[in-house]
């Protein structure tokens, strides 16, 4: 079975390519890329008018299975990723049970295979049960398929434990992903601390809650020499710390989410629980600092922090609503609309953050690039497609999006994983 | 006349003229509470729920008496005696109460925004009786009523509000209201309980009570929650008292005819010395008395009949 | 709504004569003027009440106290107009128990205002008698209410309105009939 993608504008940051090319796929690999390929037996996808990018990789996703299948399952999460233009996702370990054992990893990988859509890469917990005390059995977890370690929403508060984790993973060049939050400073907080938390009477999460941990983790990474990835940075102060760390050539990488680039805390005035995220939506000066870092290349990755929750769980008082919003099916359109349409960044830069860099950071060898021999994971984008976000059309089980009804220009058109079309917004 | 609100969720959503309408109406209604038969029939047949998720004697009774003096039927629900303890969500509780054909729901809740939240799916009139650290609109209205009673005006008065500002819904509602009516408001408290961004509400910020009290027309002391000390918001009650308690000596720096207010309940000799609390300058009990008239005004304006074609 | 004046019914001279006549009727009927109190219904009933009190003092040398009644909180005739009725203060600084209460309003129409006023008065005490004075009786009663003193009986159609203007708050004394503009 051969698949021929014709006349697409191929953009591959890894090889600095940006031109109209044909791509030939055989089985699950890319076999040829040329100006004109003609294979009579191949099935043809006409990609004229489309951008062909290496498959997008979302390295920060909560799939909820096992344990909270009412929010999302591996199958619905895979379908959401496919519709959102993602070919690979890395899932966070805060499931029930926690991903701190090879059994849970095997379960996830086998369910992912059954779902048969996107590639799923489990991220294992740094500590057993994400309790911040004893390290999980990291070597075995890597052998079972874990691509990184994180305690995500339950950040490791004990600095000694964090230091050990970094020193320990260094021996196999493992990756620690840190959700930077000092929980003493963020205690009971539900939104950004500032004029709006004051006006709304809600407990604030100060920027310092993130920044002191960014500083700590950078220092510990430096001392240990291990790789650390800073998840969903949200403040100007964090960007300043990251700037300094990168200037010292430390092995620090960082991500931002689309919602932190687009929404600020003034949008919370109606106590909409679909705007309750952690880290919280910050203020306008934080946003402009994040955008600047995205433009300058300081930020390595854009990830969604896709955090599905059921309608009932969000239909409560703001204080007790869970943190998190649905991200997979809105991210690409938001990014195209808000970063590309107004020429904030180039397409090449966007693709670098959504595919090239996450593949490198997670060490996914044959992904994040378009070249002969690479996995045939491709994201095809329609830059001119006008959409209106409708949560009722989500393939995700949950609808907790603050972007419902938003009109956006640009959308994922076709998602190809391992040479198979798993999503298309048109007949092909 | 300017009053076209369906709910009373906070001072923030009221215009200055709506606030004045409430205060004027309260002034007209105050006389009813002085009658031998303290009741008028205007809200006869209206059903009101008093839903209190936090303990409160003053506010709950005040609303209850206000409703009864207007002839409404009012039912009290408390957290301890309801399905809430069985894990029912707020939304389900409200929908169940509304199924009994309520006309208004008065809600006190520990979480900010709860009254707004229920107003999004509820057809009854919602009245905020205090939500977390957000707002306590009827308290601010009765405070304004009391100030106006004594000072004949609000605009251009210097009003000091001192204490735990950070956690105080009373402070927020009062700042919003007093600014809308043109007063100068100064907030005072220990820095961890008075973050600088409170100035965005329109108030001035001072960390020195002695300085702030100078030339004040009104001094409003807030209750300090004793448990804040455990959270290291200030070192000790002893030091708090030394810096932020209103004493006779401090009060002497205020204007000659200054008045002292407190939303209650008072910690005697903590935020205010006991002799000041009971002094002639103190209007603390008038605040409580005026609370009924102000709440009657709010209930009347939200639930009362519409103006008729004058029957000549 | 725009209104247009349909007819002028009374001028200041006629009004003055009506006041004098009514006052005489009151003093004739109430032998013990010291037991009389007057309560005017807001807004124009109050000014009529005050004039009656002044005339009694002029004719008989007796000061009869005047109270102010706001009947908003006793109304039953709410319609669908958007704005709410402003509640104004009821101000009656004397006891009405065992008194002869003279209730005063400008125009008597359906009778519902008077019903509300009587309910209100009875909540305030137990008068010996209640008498009713209206300056204009325009008919169309919906309740069994009959005035004791009338300035003028004036048959009207339902859609017409009667305006009693008094120089105390209006420019001059006059009674006019108006109707909504744009109609026949």
Q: What is the pLDDT of residues B98-145, one digit of tens each?
A: 999 999 999 999 999 999 999 999 999 999 999 999 999 999 999 999
CB contact under 8 Å between B112 and A315, yes or no, is no
In a domain, B162, yes or no: yes
- One domain for residues B283 and B141: yes
In a domain, B3, yes or no: no
- One domain for residues B200 and B127: no
How far is Cα B281 from Cα B266, in angstroms, rounded to an integer? 16
Which of B169, B264, B161 has the alpha carbon at shortest distance from B213?
Answer: B161
Measuring CA to CA, how many Å separate A181 from each of A3, A125, A297, A373? 46, 16, 24, 41
Which of C122, C105, C114 has the alpha carbon at shortest distance from B39?
Answer: C122
Task: Exactly one of A22, A100, A305, A382 is catalytic; name it.
Answer: A305
- One domain for residues B149 and B260: yes
Whether the predicted interface score ipTM is above 0.90: yes
Q: Residue B226 — pLDDT band, cuts 50, 70, 90?
A: confident
> Residues A188-206, buried b or exposed e (16+ Cβ, 10 A)?
ebbbbbbbbbbbbbbbbbb
Query: Does B305 score more than 90 pLDDT?
Result: no
The whole-chain average pLDDT of chain A stands at 97
For an interface test with C, the pick among B18, B298, B301, B311 (most C C-beta atoms closer than 10 Å) comes out as B311
Query: Does A187 score more than 70 pLDDT?
Result: yes
The whole-chain average pLDDT of chain C stands at 91
The answer for residues whose C-beta is within 8 angstroms of residue A417's C-beta and 6 or more apart is: A55, A82, A87, A88, A117, A118, A119, A376, A377
Query: Does B2 score more than 80 pLDDT?
Result: no
Of B40, B301, B307, the CB nearest to C74: B40
A305 catalytic per annotation: yes
Strand duo A2-12 + A43-46: pairing: parallel
Q: Give per-residue pLDDT as tens, B214-223.
A: 999 999 999 9
Instruction: Let me know: does B95 contact B119? Beta carbons within 8 Å.
Output: no
The answer for residues whose C-beta is within 8 angstroms of residue B29's C-beta and 6 or more apart is: B293, B296, B297, B300, C73, C87
C77–B contact, CB cutoff 8 A: yes
How far is Cα C77 from Cα C70, in angstroms, rounded to an integer? 15
Residue A402 CA, distance from chain mean position? 17
A312–B contact, CB cutoff 8 A: yes
Can you state the angle between helices A159-170 and A207-224, rounded to 10 degrees? 40
Q: A6 - beta bridge partners? A: A46
- One domain for residues B43 and B173: no
| Contacting residues of B for A317, CB less than 8 Å apart | 90, 109, 111, 113-114, 117
Sheet order of strands, B218-221 included: B204-206, B184-188, B158-162, B218-221, B259-261
The whole-chain average pLDDT of chain B stands at 93
Helix (H/G/I), strand (E/B), else coil: C63:
coil
Q: Give per-residue pLDDT as tens, B253-263.
A: 999 999 999 99
- One domain for residues B153 and B268: yes
Helix (H) or strand (E) holding A284: helix A284-296
- One domain for residues B121 and B22: yes
CA quadruple A303, A308, A314, A320: dihedral sign: negative
A202–B contact, CB cutoff 8 A: yes
- One domain for residues B31 and B172: no
Q: Give per-residue pLDDT as tens, A58-112.
A: 999 999 999 999 999 999 999 999 999 999 999 999 999 999 999 999 999 999 9
Average pLDDT over residues A310-334: 97
How far is Cα A55 from Cα A86, in angstroms, rounded to an integer? 6
Average pLDDT over residues A138-143: 97
Neighbours of A163 (CB within 10 A): 19
- One domain for residues B118 and B167: no
Residue A93 DSSP code: S
Q: Residue B230 — pLDDT band, cuts 50, 70, 90?
A: confident
Measuring CA to CA, how many Å separate B281 from each of A296, A373, B286? 63, 87, 11
Instruction: Let me know: does B208 contact B188? Beta carbons within 8 Å.
Output: yes
Q: Is the peptide bond before A100 cis (omega within 30 degrees of 0)?
A: no
Check residue C75 and give its pLDDT: 82
Q: Picking from A179-193, B121-135, C153-167, which range would have the lowest pLDDT averaged per residue?
A: C153-167
Greater confidence, B168 or C1?
Answer: B168
Domain of residue B240 covers 137-287
The answer for residues whose C-beta is within 8 angstroms of residue A179's C-beta and 6 or more apart is: A150, A151, A152, A153, A155, A231, A232
Residue spans of alpha helices (H) in B99-168: 114-119, 137-151
Strand duo A191-192 + B218-221: pairing: unpaired
Neighbours of A98 (CB within 10 A): 22
Query: Does C96 score more than 50 pLDDT?
Result: yes
Average pLDDT over residues C52-77: 92
Number of domains in chain B: 2
Which of A327, A407, A417 has the alpha carbon at shortest distance from A366?
Answer: A417
Q: Give per-residue pLDDT as tens, A191-234.
A: 999 999 999 999 999 999 999 999 999 999 999 999 999 999 99
How far is Cα B46 from Cα B32, in angstroms, rounded to an integer? 19
Neighbours of A404 (CB within 10 A): 16
C117–B contact, CB cutoff 8 A: no
Average pLDDT over residues B176-197: 97
* Closest residue in chain B to residue C72, using alpha carbons only: B42
The answer for residues whose C-beta is within 8 angstroms of residue B172's C-beta and 6 or more apart is: A198, A199, A201, B133, B134, B135, B201
Instruction: Let me know: does A378 contact A52? Beta carbons within 8 Å.
Output: yes
Query: Does B1 score more than 90 pLDDT?
Result: no
Q: Residue C76 — pLDDT band, cuts 50, 70, 90?
A: confident
How far is Cα A423 from Cα A330, in angstroms, rounded to an integer? 15
Q: Give per-residue pLDDT as tens, B62-99.
A: 999 999 999 999 999 887 666 666 688 999 999 999 99
How far is Cα A25 from Cα A43, in angstroms, rounded to an integer? 10
CB contact under 8 Å between B90 and A319, yes or no, is no
In a domain, B8, yes or no: no
Query: Does A124 score more than 80 pLDDT?
Result: yes
The domain locations on chain A are: 2-51+375-424, 55-361
How far is Cα B209 from Cα B189, in angstroms, rounded to an integer? 8
Q: Picking from A169-178, A305-314, A347-356, C3-12, which range would have the lowest pLDDT averaged per residue?
A: C3-12
Check residue C79 and give its pLDDT: 43
Check residue B307 and give its pLDDT: 39
The domain made up of A2-51+375-424 has a fold known as Urease, subunit C; domain 1 (2.30.40)
Of A194, A200, A316, the CB nearest to B112: A200
How far is Cα A282 from Cα A286, in angstroms, rounded to an integer? 6
Residue C120, min C-alpha distance to chain B (Å) = 8
A244–B contact, CB cutoff 8 A: no
Instruction: Let me know: does B43 contact B304? Beta carbons within 8 Å.
Output: yes
Burial of A18 (0-12, 13-18, 19+ CB in 10 A): middle
Phi and psi at B103, nearest 5°, equal -100, -30
Q: Following DSSP, what letter does each residue of A95-134 receive, concatenated? A: SSS-S-SHHHHHHHHHHHHHHTSSEEEEEE-SBGGG-SSS
- The architecture (CATH level 2) of C12-75+90-157 comes to 3-Layer(aba) Sandwich (3.40)
* Closest residue in chain B to residue A319, using alpha carbons only: B111
Query: Does B309 score more than 70 pLDDT?
Result: no
Enter the CATH code of domain A55-361.
3.20.20.140
Measuring CA to CA, how many Å separate A136 from each of A15, B287, C144? 38, 60, 89
B164–A contact, CB cutoff 8 A: no
CB contact under 8 Å between A318 and B112, yes or no, is yes
Check residue B308 and give its pLDDT: 37
Q: In this complex, which chains have at least 3 CB pairs below 8 Å with chain A?
A: B
How far is Cα B276 from Cα B278, in angstroms, rounded to an integer? 5
CATH number reported for the structural domain that contains residue B194 in this entry:
3.40.50.1370
Q: Give per-residue pLDDT as tens, A363-372.
A: 999 999 999 9
Q: Residue B11 — pLDDT band, cuts 50, 70, 90?
A: very high
Angle at A305 between CA A302 and CA A307, to 5 degrees: 155
- One domain for residues B46 and B173: no
B133–A contact, CB cutoff 8 A: yes
Which of A255, A327, A328 has the alpha carbon at shortest distance from A87?
Answer: A328
How far is Cα C183 from Cα A393, in angstroms, rounded to an integer? 55
Which of B220, B248, B210 has the alpha carbon at shortest distance from B159?
Answer: B220
Check residue C3 and give its pLDDT: 82
Check residue A277 and give its pLDDT: 98
> Residues A220-252, buried b or exposed e (16+ Cβ, 10 A)?
bbbebebbbbbbbbbbbbbbebbeebbeeebbb
């Amino acid at each position: 079975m051969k698949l021929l993608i014709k006349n697409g504008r191929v953009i591959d940051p890894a090889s600095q390519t940006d031109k109209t090319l044909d791509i030939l796929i055989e089985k699950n690999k890319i076999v040829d890329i040329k100006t004109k390929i003609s294979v009579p037996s191949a099935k043809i996808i006409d990609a004229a008018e489309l951008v062909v990018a290496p498959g997008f990789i979302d390295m920060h996703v909560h799939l909820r299975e096992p344990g909270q299948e009412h929010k999302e399952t591996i199958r619905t999460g895979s379908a959401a990723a496919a519709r959102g233009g993602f070919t690979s996702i890395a899932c966070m370990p805060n499931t029930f049970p926690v991903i701190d054992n090879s059994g849970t990893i095997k379960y996830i990988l086998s369910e992912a295979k059954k779902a048969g859509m996107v590639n799923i890469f489990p991220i294992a917990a740094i500590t057993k049960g994400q309790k911040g005390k004893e390290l999980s059995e990291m070597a075995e977890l890597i052998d079972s398929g874990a691509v990184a370690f994180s305690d995500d929403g339950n950040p490791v508060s004990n600095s000694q434990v964090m230091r050990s984790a970094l020193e320990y993973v260094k021996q196999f060049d493992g990756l620690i992903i840190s959700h930077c939050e000092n929980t003493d400073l963020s205690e009971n907080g539900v939104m950004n601390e500032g004029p709006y938390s004051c006006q709304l009477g809600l407990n604030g999460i100060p920027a310092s809650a993130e920044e002191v941990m960014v500083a700590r983790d950078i220092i510990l990474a430096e001392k240990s020499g291990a790789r650390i990835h800073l998840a969903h940075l949200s403040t100007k102060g964090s960007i300043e710390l990251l700037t300094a760390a990168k200037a010292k050539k430390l092995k620090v990488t960082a991500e931002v989410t689309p919602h932190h680039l687009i929404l600020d805390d003034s949008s919370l005035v109606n106590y909409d629980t679909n705007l309750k995220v952690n880290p919280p939506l910050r203020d306008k000066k934080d946003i402009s600092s994040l955008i600047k870092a995205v433009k300058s290349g300081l930020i390595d990755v854009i990830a969604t922090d896709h955090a599905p929750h059921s309608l009932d769980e969000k239909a409560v008082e703001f204080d007790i609503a869970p943190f998190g919003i649905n991200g997979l099916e809105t991210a690409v359109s938001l990014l195209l609309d808000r970063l590309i349409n107004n020429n904030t960044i180039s397409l090449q830069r966007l693709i670098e953050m959504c595919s090239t860099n996450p593949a490198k950071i997670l060490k996914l060898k044959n992904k994040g690039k378009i070249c002969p021999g690479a996995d045939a994971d491709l994201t095809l984008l329609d830059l001119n497609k006008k959409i209106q976000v409708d949560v009722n059309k989500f393939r995700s089980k949950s609808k907790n999006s603050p972007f419902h009804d938003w009109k956006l220009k640009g959308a994922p058109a076709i998602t190809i994983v391992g040479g198979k079309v798993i999503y298309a917004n048109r007949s092909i | 006349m300017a009053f076209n609100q369906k709910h009373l969720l906070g001072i923030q959503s009221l215009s200055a003229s709506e606030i004045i309408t409430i205060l004027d109406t309260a002034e007209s209604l105050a006389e009813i509470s002085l009658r031998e038969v303290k009741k008028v029939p205007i809200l006869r047949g209206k059903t009101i729920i008093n839903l209190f998720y936090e303990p409160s004697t003053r506010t709950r009774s005040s609303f209850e008496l206000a409703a009864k003096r207007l002839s409404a039927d009012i039912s009290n629900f408390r957290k301890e005696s309801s399905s809430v303890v069985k894990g029912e969500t707020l939304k389900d509780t409200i929908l169940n109460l509304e199924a009994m054909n309520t006309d208004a729901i008065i809600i006190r809740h520990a979480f900010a925004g709860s009254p707004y939240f229920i107003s999004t799916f509820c057809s009854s009139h919602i009245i905020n009786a205090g939500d977390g650290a957000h707002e306590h609109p009827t308290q601010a209205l009765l405070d304004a009523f009391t100030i106006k009673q004594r000072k004949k005006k609000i605009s251009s008065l210097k009003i000091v509000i001192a204490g735990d500002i950070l956690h105080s819904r009373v402070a927020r509602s009062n700042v919003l209201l007093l600014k809308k009516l043109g007063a100068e408001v100064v907030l005072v408290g220990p820095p961890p309980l008075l973050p600088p961004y409170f100035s965005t509400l329109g108030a001035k910020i001072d960390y020195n009570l002695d300085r702030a009290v100078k030339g004040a027309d009104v001094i409003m002391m807030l209750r300090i929650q004793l448990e804040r000390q455990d959270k290291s918001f200030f070192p000790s009650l002893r030091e708090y008292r030394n810096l932020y308690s209103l004493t006779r000596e401090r009060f002497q720096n205020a204007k000659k005819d200054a008045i002292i207010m407190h939303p209650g309940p008072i910690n005697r000799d903590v935020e205010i010395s006991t002799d000041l609390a009971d002094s002639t300058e103190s209007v603390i009990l008038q605040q409580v008395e005026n609370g009924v008239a102000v709440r009657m005004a709010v209930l009347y304006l939200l639930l009362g009949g519409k103006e008729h074609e004058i029957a000549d | 709504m725009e209104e247009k004046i349909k007819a002028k019914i009374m001028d200041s001279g006629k009004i003055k004569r009506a006041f004098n006549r009514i006052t005489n009727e009151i003093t004739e009927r109430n032998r013990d003027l010291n037991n009389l109190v007057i309560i005017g219904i807001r807004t124009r009933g109050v000014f009529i009440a005050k004039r009656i009190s002044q005339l009694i003092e002029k004719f008989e040398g007796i000061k009869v106290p005047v109270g102010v009644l706001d009947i908003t909180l006793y109304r039953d005739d709410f319609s669908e107009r958007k704005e709410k009725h402003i509640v104004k203060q009821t101000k009656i600084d004397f006891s009405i128990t065992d008194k002869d209460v003279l209730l005063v309003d400008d125009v008597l129409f359906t009778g519902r205002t008077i019903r509300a006023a009587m309910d209100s008065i009875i909540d305030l005490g137990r008068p010996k008698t209640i008498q009713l004075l209206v300056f204009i009786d325009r008919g169309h009663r919906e309740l069994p209410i009959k005035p004791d003193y009338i300035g003028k009986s004036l048959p009207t159609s339902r859609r017409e309105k009667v305006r009693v203007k008094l120089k105390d708050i209006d420019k001059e004394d006059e009674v006019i009939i108006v109707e909504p503009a744009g109609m026949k």
